Structure 1
Amino acid sequence: MPEWEYWYTFEDDKEVQPFTHVSELSIKNCPKLLKMLPSDLLCLNNLDITGCPQFLVEVSSLVLPSLTSLTMNDVPLTSLQAVLEMRSMINDEVISANAKSKHLSSITSLSIGMIEELEFLPKWVTHGLMELEALKITRCEELKTLWRNEVRVQHSLPGFRHLLIRGCPRLVSLFEEDEDEEKEGQHQQQQQHEGLPCIVRLEHLRIDNCEKLEKLPRLLHTFTFLRELYVVKCPSLGSFPETGFPCTLKRLEIRDCEALQSLFRWITQINDNNLEVLGVLDCPSLTCLISSRGGGLPPTLKELQIYRCKKLEALLVEEGMEINCPFLEFVWIRACDRLKYLPGALPNNNNNLRNLSQLFLNGCENLEYILEGWFHSAINLTQLDITGCKKLKALPGLPHVLQAINYLTSLEYLGMNISDWNNHFKKIGLHSFLSLTTLRIEGPISVHLSDVAGSSFPIDGMLLPTSLISLSIVNFRNLEKLSSKLFQYLASLEHLHIRGCPSLKSLPVQRLPPSLMELSINGSRKITERCEKGKGKYWSHLAHIPRVHVVDDDDDE
């Protein structure tokens, strides 16, 4: 309400109590609202004041004994202070002594944003919030640090578990620290005597879009409650603390940190950590994950994601270091142009990689080889996708037919380039993978290999598994027709997707299996007209299919 200026709150009529049962109050985008809230909000649990830059709180008129969630965005700093200091200004005649003792201390969630002149969190921000569990700070453009030392050590927030900081462009650090390294040991000892600062009880920490953040706390390894850490869009962060991360950390995700060159020395202490999920995305300066010699990925690791790290050359800095991750289930590595190899995986360890379920290697143009061990123990591998790796010459152990079939007995999804068919699977025969239900075959990566695919699919000698339910044929630039033999044994096929085949002009529509539930063709203009609903040459053979989607454009799936 852009013209609303004043809330008449019946303050002159003591017999009127209009909002005694209201539990949630939200006031948003009322730029001219000046002051006053209803005085008797005894049941109010959630208060949200956003986009009211002139709003001034009169403390003497406000009683909020049941408040558990407070959000204040784009309001004056004085109003934020007034609401958070209400506890000491309550009239004893208005609220009982018992309720007064709980007033504001019952707040479990505090969210503040777009507060001008807020350079750090004064003592009054969290003073007395003994039940505070979550703190969210967004778009405070003048915020440089959360706590100054003298404030930080005075606070005790036993329930504090979640901290989110987003869009604070001047934030340099979470709190002030003594930069004199000679005093670090003394500082740690002093910390133990004085009790833990309020922030070290965190379980979940996320820092997002803070372009001047240069460092994380040097004593981050002492935050022994921390389970999840997310650092996103912090281009000035060049490294992590030399002292490392707490051993309790289970999930670490780093995204869009342009200056970051390496992640860990801490991870070399493999017996002292419990990391399960590691994700590194869009870090263009990263050259390796492990920056010191003698260690490897933690044996507790379950998920590994690495996307679009253009300078990443190796996962482990020392060639010859091996992976020993018996709990590893998912590995996704995509668009890492300089990555040359995957480290060895201790093939003599029968338990190593035994739980590996998904392995995706996509768009790693310089990946030349995958060292021994990745398939020896991966008896539970259900999804394998290796595409866009044009220098990959062979997969370990796969040339021997019987070995390959023994390794991949659980395979349900396979994605590959046509060149992989020639290099890896031709001698085996895809029809040997009896559990395969989804197959995605992409055309050649290089233009000069385009003749490998030819004008017809499947190519000579390729037999597809009879167990297939879904088949995708992608980016065959010279493909003109699908062979009538393609569907001869695919009696269970339900989904057929064809994309990026501009020369395609013929379909064996009379041979399509009756089980087909979906036909999708993108980017094959010569065939679009023939499949037009009710008019096309092929339509009478396609009408029974529940979902038919045929378009000229070649949008990504």
Structure 2
Amino acid sequence: MQRWKDWFPCQGDQGIGIFSSLRRLSINGVSNWRVAYLKTLCDKLVASIAGYKQLSTLRVQECKGVVCGIRVDLEQLKDITLAYVPEFRFQTKGFMTGLRKVEKLTIADCNDPEVTWPYLISLRNLCISTDSKLQQLHQLASLQTLYMYKCQSHLVLKEEEEEIEGSSLSSSHCRRKEEASCLETMAIVDCPSITFHPKDTLKHLEVSNCYQLESISDSLLWDNTCFEFIDIYDCENLKSLPKGLCHLTSLRFFYLRNCGSLVSFPSGGFPTRAANLFYIAMASCSKLDTLPHGMNLNSLEKLSIAYCNGLTPILEQGLSSNLAHLTIWKPYNCKPLSHWGLTLNRLTSLKDLWLGGVDLRLSSFPPEGEEMLLPKSHIILNISDFPNLRHPSSQGYRFLTSLESLEIRDCPKLEYFPEDLALSLTQLRIYDHCPVLRKRYKPGNAKDWATIAHIPYIDIGDLPLEQ
């Protein structure tokens, strides 16, 4: 496309007008166009879309400018993308009235397009990286998904309707205060200092890379029982979370990662009546002294905690017997594994266990004791970063007859693993500084290799071996 120089091989000034049934138009980064009948370069090319009532998708990217000067009834237009357009002007509001059926709009790196949001009465999905009147987004009555990238503004999605000067919209097209909101999904990415007050219908929230964000308004959660998914990560200056987490009875997924300034969790913790809370993941929140209550809910099936304080009290409370996936990775200021009070034998649904860097002095895994016996439901076991681990427990694996995958890494002193354990394995991985194991079980060592040779997939060292 970069070498394309000739415009359409047509006579006169027809241009793209010869395509009367055009449904999709894309103009993107063609810098060497040679339009013979205009004797100008591409940056002076004027392409009109006024006559294309069947157009359903419009992409305008890397063009010098876009000027919307007349009313255009694009009856079938549903998807618009405007990207990298330095000059963007609406000369009349009539143009916006012709976009009533647009359902998806993407505006990226455009110079403050003056969009009159209420005219977009069918808009369901909006992706925007500009600060163009974000305060008016609450006027989008049909909006379901909002993605914001590199915006620096105060975003309000709960305001009452504003009057539109000179508006010709009928009352049925305007959003009244009592009408139900539609917004369900919102993602705020790389917006340094944004503040926001979303609607109470929100189900899915992602906030990431907002490096100046210190707090999130309590109104986010206080009146909202619809939340199902919350993911907050890479917000290094975030110091507090909104109150009301304990009231989110519909919550299913909660992720909190790389928020190094967060010092406390809202009182009440996770909702005790949450019947659907399925997955909690918290990582790299080094200043968080205590983890929240509610991690032992019966509904919880996946729990992941990495690089955090306050783990011991949570384990002492006990975990749900319905827990199927448990990851504990390099916790801070944690008691030795044998003092955790973690009763693995009671986790009768546990299928996947990942433990890493949890006890630097441990010499035998799991620690001796009936409560530390690995349950027979176990399918995947991953142990890592045990610098003094030398041998497996003599009794800890006796019920482990269904194990399919074993992964061992960064255990430099570990000498062997139980031979009986290998009988059910379909995958074995030993790498990242396990010199004793790698030497003992490498191919060619007749005695020890024979104990694992039947395993379909083996990865020892740099190269995987598939049987």
TM-score bin, normalised by smaller chain: 0.7 to 0.9
Deviation for aligned residue 1:418? 7.2
Residue 455 (structure 2) pairs with residue 545 (structure 1)? yes
1:241 equivalent in structure 2: 156
Residue 62 (structure 2) pairs with residue 114 (structure 1)? yes
Deviation for aligned residue 1:530? 3.3
2:239 equivalent in structure 1: 313
Cα distance in 2 for partners of 1:479, 1:109 equals 61
Q: In the TM superposition, what whole-angstrom CA distance separates every residue of 1:453-509 from its partner, at most 9, and x where no partner exists?
A: x233223333211210001112223333334544332100001112233x1341225
Cα distance in 2 for partners of 1:148, 1:61 equals 22
Q: For residues 474 and 423 of structure 1, do their structure 2 counterparts lie closer, same or farther at Cα, with a shift above 3 Å needed?
A: closer
- Give yes or no for contact 2:283–2:308 (8 Å, CA) kept in 1: yes
Residue 186 (structure 2) pairs with residue 259 (structure 1)? no
Cα distance in 2 for partners of 1:512, 1:538 equals 14
1:329 equivalent in structure 2: 252
Q: In the TM superposition, what whole-angstrom CA distance separates every residue of 1:12-63 from its partner, at most 9, and x where no partner exists?
A: xxxxxxxxxxxxxxxx3333x2222479xxxxxxxxxxxxxxxxx9526853
Residue 420 (structure 2) pairs with residue 511 (structure 1)? yes
- Report the AA paired with residue 123 of structure 1: G
The unaligned stretches of length 5 or more in structure 1 are 1-27, 40-56, 88-103, 178-195, 268-272
How do 1:33-44 and structure 2 match up within 5 A? 33-37=5-9
> 2:79 is matched with which residue: 110, 131, 134?
134
Q: In the TM superposition, what whole-angstrom CA distance separates every residue of 1:429-458 from its partner, at most 9, and x where no partner exists?
A: 1111101111111113xxxx622xx23322
- Give yes or no for contact 2:409–2:432 (8 Å, CA) kept in 1: yes
1:412 equivalent in structure 2: 324
Residue 291 (structure 2) pairs with residue 381 (structure 1)? no
How do 1:147-162 and structure 2 match up within 5 A? 147-148=89-90, 150-151=92-93, 155-162=97-104
SS in 1 for 2:256: strand
- Report the AA paired with residue 451 of structure 2: H
Q: For residues 473 and 295 of structure 1, do their structure 2 counterparts lie closer, same or farther at Cα, with a shift above 3 Å needed?
A: closer
- Report the AA paired with residue 307 of structure 1: Y
- Give yes or no for contact 1:369–1:393 (8 Å, CA) kept in 2: no
- With normalisation by structure 1, the TM-score equals 0.69
Cα distance in 2 for partners of 1:313, 1:439 equals 31
How do 1:139-538 and structure 2 match up within 5 A? 139-140=84-85, 142-143=86-87, 145=88, 147-148=89-90, 150-151=92-93, 155-166=97-108, 168=109, 171-175=110-114, 197-208=118-129, 213-214=130-131, 216-232=133-149, 234=150, 237-241=152-156, 247-260=181-194, 262-264=195-197, 266=198, 273-290=200-217, 296=222, 298-316=224-242, 321=244, 323-345=246-268, 352-372=273-293, 374-375=294-295, 378-395=297-314, 399=316, 404=318, 408-417=320-329, 422=336, 426-444=340-358, 450-451=360-361, 454-461=362-369, 462-501=372-411, 503-508=412-417, 510-526=419-435, 527-535=437-445, 538=448
SS in 2 for 1:548: strand
- With normalisation by structure 2, the TM-score equals 0.81
SS in 2 for 1:230: strand
SS in 1 for 2:134: coil
Percent same amino acid at aligned positions?
23
Q: For residues 174 and 370 of structure 1, do their structure 2 counterparts lie closer, same or farther at Cα, with a shift above 3 Å needed?
A: farther
How many equivalent residue pairs? 428
Q: In the TM superposition, what whole-angstrom CA distance separates every residue of 1:390-447 from its partner, at most 9, and x where no partner exists?
A: 344522xx645xxx36xx1321011124766758984351111101111111113xxx
- Report the AA paired with residue 377 of structure 2: S
Q: For residues 60 and 458 of structure 1, do their structure 2 counterparts lie closer, same or farther at Cα, with a shift above 3 Å needed?
A: closer
Q: For residues 442 and 421 of structure 1, do their structure 2 counterparts lie closer, same or farther at Cα, with a shift above 3 Å needed?
A: farther
Deviation for aligned residue 1:276? 0.6
Deviation for aligned residue 1:338? 1.9
Q: In the TM superposition, what whole-angstrom CA distance separates every residue of 1:233-256 from its partner, at most 9, and x where no partner exists?
A: x1x514323855993210001112
Cα distance in 1 for partners of 2:21, 2:183 equals 34
SS in 2 for 1:367: coil
Q: For residues 518 and 338 of structure 1, do their structure 2 counterparts lie closer, same or farther at Cα, with a shift above 3 Å needed?
A: same
SS in 2 for 1:257: coil
Q: Which structure features the higher share of strand residues?
A: 2
- What is the RMSD of the two structures over their aligned residues, measured on CA atoms? 3.2
The unaligned stretches of length 5 or more in structure 2 are 31-41, 161-179
SS in 2 for 1:298: coil
